[in-house]
Amino acid sequence: MTAVEAHCQRAPATRKTRFCFLLLWSAALAAFPVAANERPGPQWQVGLAEFALAAGRAEEALVRIGETRGDAASWVRAQALLATGQVEAAKRRLEQQLTADSHRGDAALILGQMATQSGDDRGAREYFNTASRLGFGNTRQRALYELSMLDMADGKPDAAGQVLAGMEPGYWAALGYANLAAHFSKQDLNASRPLVALRVALAMSEQDVVSDRSNSLRSQLLVRAAYLSFQQEDYDKAIGFLEQVPLDSYYTPRALYLHGLSLDARDNYRGAMQSWHRAKKYPLAYPGVEDSWLGMGRGYDLSGYLGQAGEAYLAASASYESERATLRELASRIREEGAWKALVNDARGTNAQWFLADSRTLAQPRLAYLMRFMESGEAQRKVNRVAELVRLDKILASREQSLTVFRRSLSDLSSVPVATAVDEQQRLNARLEQLKARALEMQQRMAGASSSGAELKAVASMLAGVGRGLGSLETRLEGRTPHLSGLERRIDAALSRLQSLRGRAQQLRISAEQQLNDEAIAFVSRQDERMVLALDKAEQRIAHLYEYLALESIERGAQ
Amino acid sequence: MVAHPLIAFVLMLTAPLIAAAELDTEIDRLKADVAELASDLYELEEAFLHPADTQVAVFLTLARSDALTLDSIELSVNDTPVASHFYSERELRSLQQGGVQQLFIGNVPVGEHRLKAVLTARTANDRYVRREVAHRFQKEPGEFRIQLSVDARAPEYEPQIGFAEWK
């Protein structure tokens, strides 16, 4: 145990804390000699920055990378600048990266995406061409995909097809062919070209190494292919596609509805009703579910069970009314609490067990509405803005709290008189001399015993280190007061900057939340209109059925 | 939510609502200012919360990229837990590409100490392993760094954890 430790353990608690803190603080003022060849090299700093960036701490990555030079450092710096909103500085670094020895393709890809966002398609095409030429793996595939998207936007699907034909099978190729199919669907009356493109997309998606992403894309492609086949009245083909959609997919409700519709078209009402019955179990937020409720009535009607058909239409009508009440409640909560809390935060903050996560995701109405809402790119951007501001506010709040505590500790430290420390130093010096004498005595006594030699050497070295620390304590204590005052000023300035930044973050959050609220209210209103339309259809069917029954009854009476 | 409802209300009244594109620019500007402040605070903390004479920093690196998929690590100094970490896919990729994780930075007094690490990982031959290793070190005045280097060699892929000390 060192003299400092021993003293810290003997002293009363409050005094002990203050004095130990004082010694620690004093130690901080000491210059620490470190051999230059033992310090980690620049590669170490790059490694630390890379990990900080991967862990989502871009601010730390920037500090770690500092002024480190080299291609790898420059690449990490560019990414960290981009993540911390310093877009122009990041752009300059990325441009420089294009002439470096590494990450040239990655830099070109990011520059291309930035050009696309700013509407500079020509510039974007040049960057994507560079990225496809210099990049490898995912970077190259993504660049080729972006080039095919630019061709499609220019109305050149054949050129896009040629680019896609040169791609490796996988996610980006699958996505490219899916978009090509969508483009053909808009142009062609016949579904054969879109269907061929979708079949290629399905084959490409099988090679995607990220299984969740691949499964989701595959389900979406299967439903699209089934819809096109259904439109072409090729019901067997549609059923074939739909039966490959997994039951835990986001696209399952609409797949079940289309499956019912295809069976119905082949006069298999019983089979159709089985599919619609399963689709009915999902929240009405999903496309196809409200029509499945109506489908049940239609199925009973066509099978000749008119009474049950009436009941099914009434049940559909009641479920739409109930959904409208849910939507009204959701809209009023969005107005009161904001969409961030009512729609985004509360929907995901349920306490379901992890093994129920899949069924929970599909079965909970509010989560279903959140997922539907997030299908739109504009909604994603608006939610992202609020999420980013919430994250920044959390960082600032946590920093403010720790700085406030640190500031308080400094005030406490300033109140400890230097004289106390000087007295303690004298006592510690005396104790150190005693320990040194004992160590020397033991060394002399045990001369020749090699087993204890190393330990005694370590004790002597430790005592020498403590001696050096205590020796310079007086000089360091002299600089304590001005140093503490300087530190207090720095912390006060930082606290003031923090508060100003928090104010700005809160102001921006109000604007971002207002935009999100408007988008969410419009979305809920559209969902309500959808329910009104479904309700209207159900009522018409009921009226039609009653009219038919009344006519039947009159006819029977006349006979 | 904002820090105080009254502040929020006042801000709502005074703040003109900003258009989407301008909002993105403003958010970027705020992020840049937060990064600048974070950088200043980081230097302040490094210098004063972890003074060089008592500072100990522990780092983790992977010796080879394909031998292990780290799941988690727990670190104790003198039987007191000081750090624990679960790895995300992105963090793992970074370690595999030469990233360096600072697992712990803190203060210990001069003298002998015991560092213990418990790691769980999946090996390249698809075994899930949990290994405990301990390392004694002598803290002397001055900056002190310990590097944990994790390795696993074929055909057994038994995890090996090496310790290197720097002053």
Whether chain B has a CB inside 8 Å of the CB on A397: the answer is yes
Whether chain B has a CB inside 8 Å of the CB on A47: the answer is yes
Whether chain B has a CB inside 8 Å of the CB on A86: the answer is yes
Q: How far apart are CA A186 and CA A34, in angstroms?
A: 69
- The domain ranges of chain A are 385-511
Per-residue pLDDT of chain B (167 residues; tens, 9 = 90+): 444 555 555 544 444 456 777 888 899 999 999 988 888 888 787 767 777 777 889 999 998 877 789 999 999 999 999 999 999 999 999 999 999 999 998 888 888 899 999 999 998 888 999 999 999 998 887 788 999 999 988 888 888 899 998 87
Q: How far apart are CA A270 and CA B89, in angstroms?
A: 47
B88 and A498 within 8 Å at the Cβ level: the answer is no
In chain A, which residue's Cα lies nearest the Cα of B25?
A85
**Token duo for residue A382:** 């608006």
Among B17, B49, B52, the residue with its CB nearest the CB of A514 is B17
All residues of chain A having their beta carbon less than 8 Å from the beta carbon of residue B38 are 59-60, 63, 395, 399
Per-residue pLDDT of chain A (559 residues; tens, 9 = 90+): 333 333 434 444 444 444 444 443 433 333 333 333 355 678 889 999 999 999 998 988 998 998 888 888 999 999 999 999 899 999 999 999 999 988 999 999 999 999 998 889 999 999 999 999 999 999 999 999 999 999 999 999 999 999 999 999 999 999 999 999 999 998 888 888 999 999 999 999 999 888 888 999 999 999 999 999 999 999 999 999 999 999 888 999 999 999 999 999 999 999 999 999 999 999 999 999 999 999 999 999 988 898 899 999 999 999 999 999 999 999 999 999 999 988 888 766 555 444 445 555 567 788 888 889 999 999 999 999 999 999 999 989 988 988 888 888 888 877 777 666 667 777 887 887 888 788 778 777 776 665 566 677 777 777 777 777 777 777 777 777 777 888 888 889 999 999 999 999 999 999 999 999 999 999 999 999 999 999 999 999 999 998 988 888 888 887 7
In chain B, which residue's Cα lies nearest the Cα of A507?
B11
Three-class SS state of B131: strand
Q: CA triplet A345, A351, A354: central angle to 5 degrees?
A: 110
Q: Kindly calculate the radius of gyration of chain B based on its CA atoms and give it in whole angstroms.
A: 22
The 3-state DSSP composition of chain B as helix, strand, coil percent (nearest 5) reads: 30, 45, 25
Whether chain B has a CB inside 8 Å of the CB on A6: the answer is no
Q: How far apart are CA A174 and CA A62, in angstroms?
A: 36
Q: B7, exposed or middle or buried, with CB in 10 Å at 0-12, 13-18, 19+?
A: middle
Range 45-104 of B in CB contact (< 8 A) with A: 47-49, 51-54, 59, 61, 88, 90-91, 93-95, 97-102
Q: What 8-state DSSP symbol labels residue B17? A: P
Residue to mutate among A60, A507, A514, A518, with most B CBs inside 10 A, is: A507
- Tell me the pTM: 0.77
Q: How far apart are CA B60 and CA A305, in angstroms?
A: 71
Residue B31 identity (one-letter amino acid): K
Half-sphere exposure of A347 (CA within 13 A, CB side): 23
Contact A358, A491 (CB under 8 A): no
Q: How far apart are CA A96 and CA A71, in angstroms?
A: 9
**CATH assignment of B55-166, among 1.10.510, 3.40.50, 2.60.40, 2.30.42:** 2.60.40
Residue A187: Cβ within 10 Å count: 10
A47 and B2 within 8 Å at the Cβ level: the answer is no
Alpha helices in A55-118 (DSSP H): 58-65, 71-83, 87-97, 104-117
Residue B157 identity (one-letter amino acid): Y
Contact B94, B100 (CB under 8 A): no
* Helix pair A137-153, A171-187: axis angle to 10 deg: 10
B1 and A55 within 8 Å at the Cβ level: the answer is no
Q: Rounded to 5 degrees, what are φ and ψ at B86? A: -105, 135
Q: Which of A108, A99, A56, A97 is nearest to A80 (CA)?
A: A56
Whether chain B has a CB inside 8 Å of the CB on A84: the answer is yes
Contact A195, A153 (CB under 8 A): no
Contact B61, B147 (CB under 8 A): yes
Q: How far apart are CA A353 and CA B163, in angstroms?
A: 40
Whether chain A has a CB inside 8 Å of the CB on B21: the answer is no
Residues in chain A: 559
In chain A, which residue's Cα lies nearest the Cα of B94?
A51
**Structure ipTM:** 0.87
Contact B70, B95 (CB under 8 A): yes
User: Percentage of chain A with pLDDT > 90?
Assistant: 56
Sign of CA dihedral A161, A165, A167, A170: positive
**Token duo for residue B157:** 């892929």
Q: Which of B129, B128, B90 is nearest to A53 (CA)?
A: B90
Residue A311 identity (one-letter amino acid): E
Whether chain A has a CB inside 8 Å of the CB on B30: the answer is yes
Q: Which residues does A324 contact at the CB level (< 8 Å), separation at least 6?
A: A528, A531, A532, A535
All residues of chain B having their beta carbon less than 8 Å from the beta carbon of residue A468 are 141
Q: Rounded to 5 degrees, what are φ and ψ at A434? A: -60, -45
Residue A443 identity (one-letter amino acid): Q
Q: How far apart are CA A54 and CA B61, in angstroms?
A: 14
Write a three-state SS string for A439-501.
Answer: HHHHHHHCCCCHHHHHHHHHHHHHHHHHHHHHHCHHHHHHCHHHHHHHHHHHHHHHHHHHHHH
Q: Which residues does A174 contact at the CB level (< 8 Å), separation at least 6?
A: A201, A202, A204, A205, A208, A217, A221
Contact B47, A535 (CB under 8 A): no
Whether chain B has a CB inside 8 Å of the CB on A506: the answer is yes
All residues of chain A having their beta carbon less than 8 Å from the beta carbon of residue B34 are 59, 84, 392, 395-396, 501
Q: Distance, in angstroms, between A511 CA and closest chain B CA?
A: 5
Contact B112, B120 (CB under 8 A): no
